[in-house]
């Protein structure tokens, strides 16, 4: 009952041919369909639903919406009631609004991000099947990402003016959607301002994260890899394909994840993320990072600021 996991991200791209080539050859995704409007739908080899990424033609980069899959179609009405009671306006979109997808509950976060919930998406199966499966497919390409893992959204934060959409978004996800906080960054006198928050609804360190900034946007969408070795291989693939790397392979203190950050041809930031880090459970104590150790939390090895990481997003 309720939200199970992240389902897909709809992304704006300025050069569709270059974007498809990037997500197929660098991440290792496969195109599963193209609609009449020219939108391209892709999935990773270890995903069983029709798609986890939608690329839409645009004159700018950024995110259209992020979607989460719920267990039952009837959950949509229950979650709609919770959201409306919280003061969030919603709309039920009919089946087929997105191809191969059932009806969706659409709403806007206090930060302005568009979120959708759905229960049904066409099942197509993983590339290795479910009967006596091999550990990986023979035709794996690029980094060979297993699945879309999470998204991190930048949210307007201006404590001097009383604006903290990180906090407001967090309340929506915890009070209405059943997520729980795993980690947070607290800043200001006495650490009274929650400037960033990582939330889970499964057993991974985060399914969604909110980080404060001067304006709202998409910081990155992340794809799961098995191990540190796979992160290094992904960096090799990026070098061969001349992909712009933002942060070379390293480890996060927050979530303990092994990571590399890079950009698609439109400037949307991607991440390849490896390692479970820890088993997230609703009763797990929340990990807090203080302002003086903020960069250790972000980049554990160096603890040093990387300006592009906080200043550049779509």
**Domains defined along the chain, listed by start:** 3-118 (3.10.180.10), 148-311 (3.10.180.10)
Res 128: pLDDT: 96
Buried b (16+ CB within 10 A) or exposed e, 32-65: beeeeeebbbbbbbbbebbbbbbbbeeeebbbbb
Question: Residues 168-213: pLDDT tens digits?
Answer: 999 999 999 999 999 999 999 988 999 999 999 999 999 999 999 9
Catalytic residue among 146, 150, 167, 219: 150
pLDDT for the residue numbered 275: 78
DSSP classification of residue 286: P
Write down the pTM of the prediction.
0.96
Find the catalytic residue in 22, 51, 252, 258: 252
Active site residue 220: yes
Q: For residue 48, what pLDDT is reported? A: 98
If phi > 0 it is left, if psi is from -120 to 50 it is alpha, else beta; for residue 100 that is left
In which residue ranges of the chain is pLDDT below 50?
Answer: none
Q: State the catalytic residue, choosing from 22, 113, 146, 206.
A: 206
Name the one residue in this structure whose structure tokens are 């998409």: 218
Residue 150 annotated to the active site: yes
The whole-angstrom separation of Cα 304 and Cα 219 is 19
Which of these is catalytic: 118, 146, 271, 313? 271
pLDDT at position 160: 82
| 301 part of the active site | no
List, for residues 40-84, the tens digit of each pLDDT value. 999 999 999 999 999 999 999 999 999 999 999 999 999 999 999
Could you say which of 8, 22, 146, 220 is catalytic? 220
The CA-based diameter of the chain, rounded to the nearest angstrom, is: 58
**pLDDT at residue 159, rounded to an integer:** 86
Residue 277: the pLDDT is 82
Residue 218: closest CA among 39, 68, 61, 67: 61
| CA–CA separation, 200 and 254 (whole Å) | 13
Question: What gap in Å lies between CA 305 and CA 153, rounded to an integer?
Answer: 19
CA nearest neighbour of 39 among 27, 51, 25, 24: 51
Q: Check residue 301 and report its DSSP letter.
A: T
């Amino acid at each position: 009952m309720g939200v199970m996991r992240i389902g897909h991200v709809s992304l704006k791209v300025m050069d569709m041919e270059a974007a498809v080539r990037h997500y197929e050859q660098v991440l290792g995704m496969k195109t599963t369909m193209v609609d009449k409007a020219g939108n391209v739908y892709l999935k990773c080899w270890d995903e069983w639903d029709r798609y986890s990424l939608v690329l839409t033609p645009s004159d700018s980069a950024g995110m259209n919406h992020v979607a989460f899959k719920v267990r039952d179609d009837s959950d949509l009405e229950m979650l709609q009631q919770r959201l409306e009671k919280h003061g969030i306006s919603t709309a039920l979109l009919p089946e087929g609004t997105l191809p191969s997808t059932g009806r969706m509950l659409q709403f806007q976060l206090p930060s302005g991000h568009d979120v959708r919930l759905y229960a049904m998406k066409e099942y197509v199966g993983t590339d290795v099947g479910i009967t006596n499966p091999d550990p990986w497919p023979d035709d794996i390409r690029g980094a060979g990402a297993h699945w879309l893992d999470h998204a991190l959204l930048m949210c307007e934060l201006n404590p001097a003016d009383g604006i903290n959409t990180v906090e407001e978004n967090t309340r929506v996800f915890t009070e209405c959607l059943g997520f729980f906080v795993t980690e947070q960054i607290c800043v200001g006198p006495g650490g009274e301002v929650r400037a960033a928050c990582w939330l889970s609804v499964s057993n991974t360190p985060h399914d969604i994260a909110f980080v404060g900034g001067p304006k709202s946007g998409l910081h990155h969408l992340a794809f799961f890899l098995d191990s540190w070795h796979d992160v290094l291989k992904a960096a090799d693939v990026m070098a061969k394909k001349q992909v712009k790397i933002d942060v070379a392979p390293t480890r996060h203190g927050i979530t303990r994840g092994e990571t590399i950050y890079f950009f698609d041809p439109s400037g949307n930031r991607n991440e390849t993320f490896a390692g479970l880090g820890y088993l997230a459970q609703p009763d797990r104590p929340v990990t807090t990072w203080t302002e003086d150790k903020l960069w250790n939390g972000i980049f554990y090895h160096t603890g040093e600021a990387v300006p592009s990481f906080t200043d550049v997003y779509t």
